[in-house]
Amino acid sequence: MVGPDAWEPPVGSWASSAARRRNMQAIRSRDTTPERLIRRLVHANGLRYRVAARPLPDLRRTADMVFRPARVAVFIDGCYWHGCPQHYVPPKTNPGYWSDKVARNIARDRDTDQRLTKAGWTVLRFWEHEPPEHCAAHITDEVERRRSTIQREKPCS
């Protein structure tokens, strides 16, 4: 017999148990440790940026870091949620739901990349397992390169 405090997932639910549901709900979508480390290093390099912002106002997707004038959008992707070819392990519980979810995330990532590129943005994607120093250096180089390109294209007054 099930007590009044026992939780059972509804039929077709994504959660296999109350504990799993709490665990999955606690996963952060922003301000993860890799994001914070990379942001700290980029900031130390003298760059300023928007956090968890929409690069394009009509696109309902946010980048982890946005450099508007340089038109650079940075995404730090989690290995599980974005299907890292090196670290993604298919789930054993409710595999159909979670594998489909990750596949949709990957498709949305590619669509986001295409839309931003078409709008003239540079998209930088890093995996959470990449060294933060490498990511920060790449971001800094790209933003500075884009800024210098923008400066050259501006007409003299």
- Tokens of residue 134, six digits: 């490498």
| pLDDT of 3 over the 60 cut | no
Given a cut of 50, whether residue 1 has pLDDT beyond it is no
111-125 pLDDT, tens digit each: 999 999 999 999 999
Q: What is the per-residue pLDDT for 5?
A: 52
pLDDT for the residue 16: 60
CA–CA distances in Å: residue 46 to residues 3, 38, 146: 57, 13, 15
Average pLDDT of the residues in 26-52: 91
- CB-CB contact of 102 with 94 (8 Å): no
92 pLDDT tier (thresholds 50, 70, 90): confident
Cα 130 → chain centroid? 13
Domains of the chain by residue range: 29-153
What CATH class has 29-153?
alpha beta
Helix (H, G, I), strand (E, B) or coil at 24: helix
Give how far Cα 6 sits from Cα of 2, 17, 19, 39, 113, Å.
Answer: 6, 10, 11, 42, 43
Across 126-133, average pLDDT: 98
What is the rounded average pLDDT of the residues 49-56? 97
Residue of 126, 139, 109, 130 whose CA lies nearest to 49: 139
Query: What's 28's DSSP letter?
Result: -
